[in-house]
Chain A
Amino acid sequence: MSRVWTRDRRVVTAGGRQAAMATELDGEEETAAAAGKLTGSPQLSVEDDLREMAKNAAWSVSSYKPGNNVLSLRDDNLDTYWQSDGAQPHLVNIQFQKKVKLQLVILYVDFKLDESYTPSKISIRAGDGFHNLKEIKTVELMKPVGWVHISLSGNDPRETFINTFMLQVAILSNHLNGRDTHIRQIKIYGPRPNPVPLQPFHFTSQEFISYSTIR
């Protein structure tokens, strides 16, 4: 079993998260980090104005090994995982009942436990359905341990969210050229709706908020 290389704490990932473990630094890893590869963080940190969107979505996977099916992706249990059982790319499909605004996809993967089952290249696609999915983001992971945050925003402030019916997380390749993949948890985040209906903007000040609802 080769030594596990992880990042130095000071190095920051593309998503702005830091690795928690400080272990030996390998030169190759540093360049990889500089190349923008993601690694995980033990903390799931999401801004307050975002919330989990996919509770009422329809989740499906391209293939699974019996006993490790799609439920393990949503059970809030980091010990259970989904294991695929087919050809690459492995797909996780999330379909919503109506168009929703999404900002963030977060996966929990663990290289130390899963080694060659850990995804290394992930592509995120969005669209109205299976027929017109378009890739919106591709990320590469480098021996991730923990939560991997993948932001769906573009550079333009107008593109903070994507507005879509369906999201597809495609695992294009795994570490060490593994065939099948393990993913332990996936969460999808989008903006909170305005608690006050029919408003063009959210309220920010205490004066407005305290008069805005009856509880």
Chain B
Amino acid sequence: METLMVDRVQNSLRFFMHRNAIFLCERLCAEFPTEINLQLLATCYLQNGKAYCAYQILKGTSMPHSRYLFAMSCFQMNLLQEAEAALCPANEPNVEVPDGAAGHYLLGLIYRYMGRQALAIEHLMQALTLDPLLWAAYDELCVLGAIEEANDYFSDMAAQRIQQQYLSESSSLNSSNGSEFYNLSSNMAVTSVDSIPRQSKQLGNNTREIASLPLSVMIAKVPASNSGSSNFSQYITPPAATQLSGVAPPPLCRNMHVSFNVANNDVSTKLNNIAVQAPRRKVLDEGKLRKVSGRLFSDSVPRRSTRLSAEAIAVASSNRLSAEAIAVASSNATQVIGNGNGHTSTKFLGGFSSSSSSKVNAASSRSLTFRKGHSWISENFDEGRRSEAFDDSRMENMATTSSSTSMSGDSRYLEQGKAIGDLAQDSRLINGAQELLCLLRTLGEGYRLSCSYRCQEALDAYLKLSEKQFNTGWVLSQVGKIHFELVNYFEADHFFDLARRVSPSILESMDIYSTVLYHMKEEMKLSYLAKELLSVDRLSPQAWCALGNCYSLQKDHETALKNFQRAVQLDSRFVYAHTLCGHEYVELEDFENGIKCYQSALQIDQRHYNSWYGLGVVYLRQEKFKFAEHHLHKAYNINPRSSVLMCYLGMTQHALQRNEDALEMIERAISADKQNPLPVYQKAIILVSLECYDEALNELEQLKESAPHESCVYALMGKIYKRFEMHEKAMLCFGLALDLKPPAADVATIKAAMEKLYLPDEMDDTL
């Protein structure tokens, strides 16, 4: 009944029949309250968005996957401390993070939102090493500013790793019996636990990671009672082997022989043989070890509860184990052993007890066949991964030699066939992995560059994509964002529009699109966008940000603020909503609340330079120039290519009377973006204050060309001519300035200046 219920629940989950799944699962847990079933129930709840229910039922559980699910529910409920404690228990500092890459990713997120950046970065990197296709971890790392080279993460090494993963996965799925036996054998290998801790320690010495420690801990957990065969300890030495050698095939061959030798007595002799050869094996890469072990752990976790110890089984399957162990030992020894640790053993044992021995024999030989192939392949790929010493051809050779080491007996042919078939599959797998990694590499490069605001290079990176990939919502909106950062609002508009046409329900970067339209003062388009986004998803923060921008454009700052606050309520981790709230408060001259909003934005994402800029502007308005400079500088450090930021920095430095620095910064701003007229204008202002009127006039003449309808240019020119006492020119300029319809305040100032034209320059501080 239990398995039937589990099956129905999983089926319901797959077809999104959540109520059915939850109901059945609750019945299941009531009937068979095991931790595995609790995990299933928690999964049902989490999939249905009911994190609080999952939290309730998983409190206090200790299996790795349960802890992962518990941490996930805590994270969704924003209970970050508990989530961290679940994944990294304080009293067990060396315990492996459950569920490998996923666990590390979740932990990275938790640390990020707790503000512990260094730890977050460490765990995210870990996640990426364990699972090179985990784009989300890469995304977070870019946002945190921790990526130096995309190539490191989507390299060919990663391809090998992926292959290994898939192989071990497929192997365990291939035949249930086989997998059981596989587990058993590997488990049996594990039973020779005694020496393994030694091995692991050696490994630990040789490799950089501490991963070996968790491994040894896990291994230690395997009950000693399982090792009914102490003689197995003899062949543990393999992992200690440090040299990659072409010896691999021969031992393998011998293993084969051994494997087919059902007689127990053969075992020990063969073992000794293998033990001799094994030492030449190279120390395994810890990363592989962890990854594979992680994978197998997750497979075997559900069966822990059925752990039994059956010595008979241990003995009977010792041959398998030995052969298995040996084969494994010569290559991935520690890996598989680690994999088989504890859990898998029980899994097998549980299964074993229900089958007859003959069946076991037959199945075991099959599994062995399959295992052989597997271990060959994995061995090959392992060696391939030790890339320094190997090249592909050699790998191929080994594979062929291994496969060609023919064994007498049909089973051997079977094995061979299987091995070759596996090989072909593997080469396809590795090609596929490499292609995917190539794609991810390009995307990663573009994304990383755009996160460090190197916009031109990011654009180049994205252009390398194939057309089909480029014309997708995500890429197009990323390109739009890049143009937005480059202040090319027209281009940005174009790309965002394309993105919306390609995928009409895209929401992700639409808040940036609304800001683009805000800058372009396109009221119609902006309100249309806001309406559309709301109709797609009324509960998305982007839609409310767009609507807020719409009101802000119409100068209705209170309503805009309300909308941005709604966006914050919908998703308090959405940085931009906080920043926009801050902007609106500042427009309403409520500086205190504005500062608070900017600071909450910075708590979520320290690299959101808009918030740093916002804080700088607040302090500028309050005339706290030193504070302003500090904050603007921080923004500038994050985005050193923004000419607007440089311009503001220059203005602040001018206000602090540091005119040389100011002029230098302004020059940088001018060269960063030739189309930005503001730095030139600021330069003119500074020159006027330094009484270098002629140079200022030069700059203003330039501006007349590039921005012919700008009233302030003429107003400033008029002021300069007034200083020169060139009254007609001054009148002309003031007149032109007035013609361009400045707001009332400026009209007043300019008219006042005109009136006073023929009066001597008294304390003319305003003008």
CB pair B744 A208 closer than 8 Å = no
Give the contacts of A158-215 with B (CB-CB under 8 A): 158-161, 191-193, 195, 197-215
Q: Does B173 contact A (CB under 8 A)?
A: no
Binds A, one of B131-139, B178-186, B449-457, B676-684: B676-684
Q: Assign chain B's interface to a size class.
A: 35 or more
Number of A-B contacts defined by CB within 8 Å: 122
Closest Cβ neighbor of B741 among chain A residues: A204
CB pair A198 B651 closer than 8 Å = yes
Q: Assign chain A's interface to a size class.
A: 35 or more
A 72-109 to B, binary, CB cutoff 8 A, 1 in contact else 0: 00000000000000000000000000000101000000
Contacts of B121 in A (CB 8 A): none
Closest Cβ neighbor of A215 among chain B residues: B515
Q: Does A28 contact B (CB under 8 A)?
A: no
Contacts of B580 in A (CB 8 A): 215
CB pair A201 B748 closer than 8 Å = no
Contacting residue for B743 out of A56, A202, A206, CB 8 A: A202
Contacts of A160 in B (CB 8 A): 744-745, 747-748
CB pair A49 B707 closer than 8 Å = no
Contacting residue for B709 out of A47, A101, A192, A205, CB 8 A: A205
CB pair B712 A208 closer than 8 Å = yes
Give the contacts of B622-665 with A (CB-CB under 8 A): 642-645, 647, 651-652, 654-655
CB pair B712 A198 closer than 8 Å = no
CB pair B742 A204 closer than 8 Å = yes
| B268 CB, min distance to chain A CBs, angstroms | 75
CB pair A200 B767 closer than 8 Å = yes
CB pair A192 B710 closer than 8 Å = no
CB pair B677 A208 closer than 8 Å = yes
A 103-129 to B, binary, CB cutoff 8 A, 1 in contact else 0: 100000000000000000000000000
Contacts of B741 in A (CB 8 A): 204
CB pair A211 B709 closer than 8 Å = no
Give the complex CA separation of A211 and B744 in angstroms: 22
Give the contacts of B165-219 with A (CB-CB under 8 A): none
Binds A, one of B325-333, B496-504, B749-757: B749-757
| A189 CB, min distance to chain B CBs, angstroms | 10
Give the complex CA separation of A208 and B752 in angstroms: 24
CB pair B747 A157 closer than 8 Å = yes
Closest Cβ neighbor of B554 among chain A residues: A48
B 682-713 to A, binary, CB cutoff 8 A, 1 in contact else 0: 00010000000000000000000011111110
Binds A, one of B397-405, B427-435, B613-621: B613-621
Q: Does B7 contact A (CB under 8 A)?
A: no
CB pair B751 A199 closer than 8 Å = no
Q: Does A50 contact B (CB under 8 A)?
A: yes
| A165 CB, min distance to chain B CBs, angstroms | 17
Contacting residue for A215 out of B583, B588, B708, B752, CB 8 A: B583
Q: Apart from A200-B685, A208-B678, what 6 extra A-B contacts exist at CB < 8 Å?
A: A161-B744, A197-B620, A201-B742, A205-B709, A214-B644, A215-B580
A contact set with B: CB distance below 8 Å: 47-51, 55-56, 101, 103, 156-161, 191-193, 195, 197-215
A/B interface sample: 23 pairs, CB < 8 A: A49-B743, A159-B748, A191-B743, A191-B745, A192-B743, A193-B589, A193-B621, A198-B654, A198-B655, A199-B712, A200-B767, A201-B711, A202-B746, A203-B712, A204-B709, A204-B740, A205-B709, A211-B487, A211-B644, A211-B677, A214-B610, A214-B613, A214-B642
B contact set with A: CB distance below 8 Å: 487, 489, 515, 518-521, 555, 580, 583, 587-589, 609-610, 613, 617, 620-621, 642-645, 647, 651-652, 654-655, 676-678, 681, 685, 706-712, 715-716, 740-749, 751-752, 755, 766-767
Q: Which 6 pairs between the two chains have the least Cβ-Cβ distance?
A: A157-B751, A201-B712, A49-B743, A158-B752, A160-B748, A205-B710
